[in-house]
Amino acid sequence: MVFTDMFFLVAYTAMGLLIGSFLNVCIYRIPLKKSVVWPGSSCPKCGKPIKPYDNIPVLSWLILRGKCRFCKNPISAQYPFVELLTGAAFFACARTWGLNPPTFVNTVLLALLIVLVFTDYHHQILPNVLTIPGAVVGVALSPLQVFPFYSGVLEVKAAGLLGLDETPVAWPWLGALFGALFGGGLLLLVATLYKAVRRRDGLGMGDVKMMLMVGAFLGYRLALLTIFGGALLGTLVGVSLQVAGKATMQTKLAFGVFLGIAAAAALFWGLPFLDWYLRGPQK
Ligand SMILES: [Zn+2]
């Protein structure tokens, strides 16, 4: 690895840790409908503003041993965890795509997913202020995204129908738009079926809008994988909790949490997985 790549990797990861600090603010304030930019961070217990030198990602929490400098009340380990997770997300993107546009596009997606997952976990909501602009940004940034996310059988079919020899230049826009409608539409269908079978709401419109966003960023194939992966993960966790006696059939799990994890997995491993899966066992 050459020096510039190494430098970019380290700098981008450090930036991720700082952005993680901001994501903590978003996770805490968006459900309360408070501004995420003003005022600066303060202790949730005593309200004292946090000094800049106590706001160093991860390190400050360790130095203060997870307690507020003033009131000594414990500060949730979720704060350094989200910072580390965001740092890891930035690292993974920089490692995968280097100093190229998809690194930027996919860190935007992962940052949105992190806020959505923690907000859904705590409040069982997926705020529209994140999912709707997220979907728009996903479509807008699609020309900078990993191209194969939007290509595949459909692209070839569409080009054929239009009598084109080459993929149209506008394909990423169309692919992202189709991915959004496909992801959101499929989840809407699943939610409707779930309601008909179980006779209660399991999936909300928040999940549908979250898939609109995921589909815009990842295209229809990875959106499909995300829904399958999320459902599988949700079922595994739900059954495990029931076996452990910590949940019943009626316990509501935040599906957005599982969709978020599945979307991140699909981002990094989705295409290799589909290649392997579609090649079949015989070859
Ligand atoms: Zn305090």
Q: Is the peptide bond before 102 cis (omega within 30 degrees of 0)?
A: no
List CB contacts of 130: < 8 A, sequence separation 6 or more: 30, 112, 115, 116, 119, 213
pLDDT digits (tens, 9 = 90+) for 156-194: 677 777 777 666 667 889 899 999 999 999 999 988 988
Which residues are placed with Cβ below 5 angstroms of ligand 1, an ion?
Answer: 43, 45-46, 68, 70-71
pLDDT of 232: 95
Q: Which of 95-104, 237-246, 270-279 has the highest mean pLDDT?
A: 95-104
Q: How far apart are CA 240 and CA 225, in angstroms?
A: 22
CA distance 215 to 16: 24
For residue 282, pLDDT over 60 is answered with no
Mean pLDDT of the chain: 91
Q: How far does the centroid of ligand 1 lie from the alpha carbon of residue 51, in Å?
A: 12
Residues near 82 by beta carbon (within 8 Å), at least 6 away in sequence: 20, 23, 24, 27, 114, 118
Is residue 236 scored above 90 in pLDDT? yes
Mean local confidence (pLDDT), 77-103: 97
Give percent of the chain with pLDDT exceeding 70.
93
Q: What is the mean pLDDT of residues 40-47?
A: 88
261 burial class (0-12, 13-18, 19+ CB within 10 angstroms)?
A: middle
**What pTM does this model have?**
0.92
Q: What is the pLDDT of residue 52?
A: 87
Alpha-carbon dihedral angle through residues 180, 181, 186, 191, given to the nearest 10 degrees: 90
pLDDT value at position 165?
66
Q: pLDDT for 63-76, tens place per residue?
A: 999 999 999 999 99
Quick one: which of 83, 44, 48, 90 has its CA closest to 62? 83
Average pLDDT over residues 97-110: 97
> What distances in angstroms separate CA 72 from CA 48, 67, 75, 78, 245, one per listed residue?
12, 5, 9, 17, 35
pLDDT at 166: 66
Residue 266 CA, ligand 1 centroid: distance in Å: 40
Roughly how many angstroms between the first and final C-alpha of the chain, as a whole number? 34
Digit-coded pLDDT (tens) for 187-215? 999 889 888 887 777 678 999 999 999 99
Average of per-residue pLDDT across 138-156: 86
CA distances from 214 to 39, 88, 116, 133 (A): 31, 20, 12, 12
CA of 21 to the centre of ligand 1 (A): 17
CA of 46 to the centre of ligand 1 (A): 4
Share of the chain above pLDDT 90, in %: 68
What tokens does 37 get? 């930019």
Distance (Å) from CA 74 to ligand 1 centroid: 8
CB 155 within 8 A of CB 167: yes
The answer for residues whose C-beta is within 8 angstroms of residue 148's C-beta and 6 or more apart is 271
CA of 126 to the centre of ligand 1 (A): 28
Give the start-end residues of each E strand in 136-202. Answer: none
Q: Residue 74: beta bridge partners? A: 67
What's the pLDDT score for residue 197? 86
78 with 96: CB under 8 angstroms? no
